Amino acid sequence: MAAIPTTPLYMRRIGFDPDPGLAVLREEDGVRRVDSLLGGPAWLVTRIADVRQVLGDPVRFGNSRHHLVPGAPAMTEEELAAMLPGNLLGFDPPEHTRLRRLLMPEFTVRRMRRIEPRIHEIVNDHLDAIEREGPPAELVADFALPIPALVICELLGVPFEDRDDFQSRYTRFFDVSLSMAERYAVQAEAKAYLAELVARARVEPGDDLLGMLVRDESAGLDDRELVGIADLLLLAGHETTANMLGLGVLALLRHPDQLRLLRDEADRVDAAVEELLRWLTVVHTGVPRVTTAEVELGGHTLGPGELVVCSLPAANRDPRLVRDPDGLDITRDAGGHVAFGHGVHHCLGAPLARMEMRIAFPALLRRFPTLRAVEREPEYRAQQVVYGLASLPVTW
């Protein structure tokens, strides 16, 4: 299904692939002015080296000045104060450093190994349920969405019975066909709910991440910051992994040679996950940056206060990164990709996302060795900030 014409170039996809126009831009120029979602102009960056330059330099390419960019929604000081606390993506160092340092201990590989047995249980429970029901199955609703939702709920201390509500909210928040006012209203709903959870955690902190942050008096986090942290982790920790699981399964089904390698050779799983992350790159751009001073980028001079958007899929399909970048090859080393971003804002939850995928993909393929997609054109989520599938009916 071709992308909707009004979708910005950097969000257009055709099936698994970025819009061909991104490859043309990358090879001809690398950096070009385009229209942004905010309605004003932005510099679109497509080459891997330039993307790393932008994402790796929080001094000249900042995260915290979007409300000053022409075309951005006007926001009062009160609205900014309600939106920003606790949101790592809204700050540059040193405030970003302070918040990230508080959370880092819970997202180390060593800490992730503590919850690895529970992730295995969650995956196997869902596979058991799919097997009991028998074919056909809806893999997005029954596998890709609930597994990361349950994992992040347990990690944060969010009641799992509330997952349908927060999942619906975040799907609407990521829907760029809605107005900014509608999306901000959805975020306000989510934060009102999370404020109730924080209030409960203040009274009776659990062993989850929210309880840990409440008990750590040295952290000095107020309720608004706790709400912002929980909001970001729920939003980022669920939506991205869920879409990688759904889209990743379809990609493997469409490449049966790669599927067989992953299913039959267990030691391939780490490389397979990295290659799927690179090849699919479900996050179109991450958070746009704003220049804080005049800067040279890709042969262009950008003035201060200009919006810069990095196309992560275009960068990950750059032939300067890997040979034959448009091919899916789980035998290669794709570890230099930017699917999780780069630099100080590199995704905090990357170890958790990788672990979920390393467990879920092989478990599904081993449980259902004859798994195949029902023959119909998939419905891609073309108008979402995080790309993926609306559904994936399968049988075996």
Question: β-strands 289-291, 307-310: how paired?
Answer: antiparallel
pLDDT tens string, the chain, 396 residues long: the values are 444 447 889 999 999 999 999 999 999 999 999 988 766 789 999 999 999 999 999 999 998 665 454 445 555 656 666 666 777 787 888 888 888 888 888 788 777 888 899 999 999 999 999 999 999 999 999 999 999 988 988 888 888 778 777 777 767 776 766 776 777 777 778 888 889 889 988 988 888 888 888 888 777 888 888 988 888 888 778 889 999 999 999 999 999 999 999 999 999 999 999 999 999 999 999 889 999 999 999 999 999 999 999 999 999 999 999 999 999 999 999 989 999 999 998 998 999 999 999 999 999 999 999 999 997 788 898 878 899 999 999 999
Partners of 61 in beta bridges: 291
* Cα 345 → chain centroid: 12
Question: β-strands 372-373, 307-310: how paired?
Answer: unpaired
Where would I find the H helices in the chain? 20-28, 48-55, 77-83, 95-103, 109-133, 139, 146-156, 163-173, 180-203, 209-215, 223-254, 256-264, 269-280, 312-316, 350-367
The Cβ-side half-sphere exposure at 376, using a 13 Å CA radius, reads 8
Looking at residue 339, its amino acid is: A
Question: β-strands 61-62, 41-45: how paired?
Answer: unpaired
Tokens of 53: 């330059």
Quote the CA–CA distance of 282 and 280 in Å, as a whole number: 6
Partners of 306 in beta bridges: none
Quote the CA–CA distance of 201 and 197 in Å, as a whole number: 6
Q: Classify each residue of 157-181 as buried b or exposed e, where b means 16 or more C-beta atoms within 10 Å of its C-beta.
A: bbeeeebeebbebbbbbbebeeeee
Looking at residue 134, its amino acid is: G
List domains and CATH numbers for the chain: 9-395 (1.10.630.10)
Q: pTM here?
A: 0.89
In angstroms, the Cα distances linking 109 to 39, 148, 164, 348, 350 are 40, 17, 29, 11, 9
Looking at residue 264, its amino acid is: D
Quote the CA–CA distance of 267 and 261 in Å, as a whole number: 10
Partners of 105 in beta bridges: none
DSSP letter at 389 equals: B
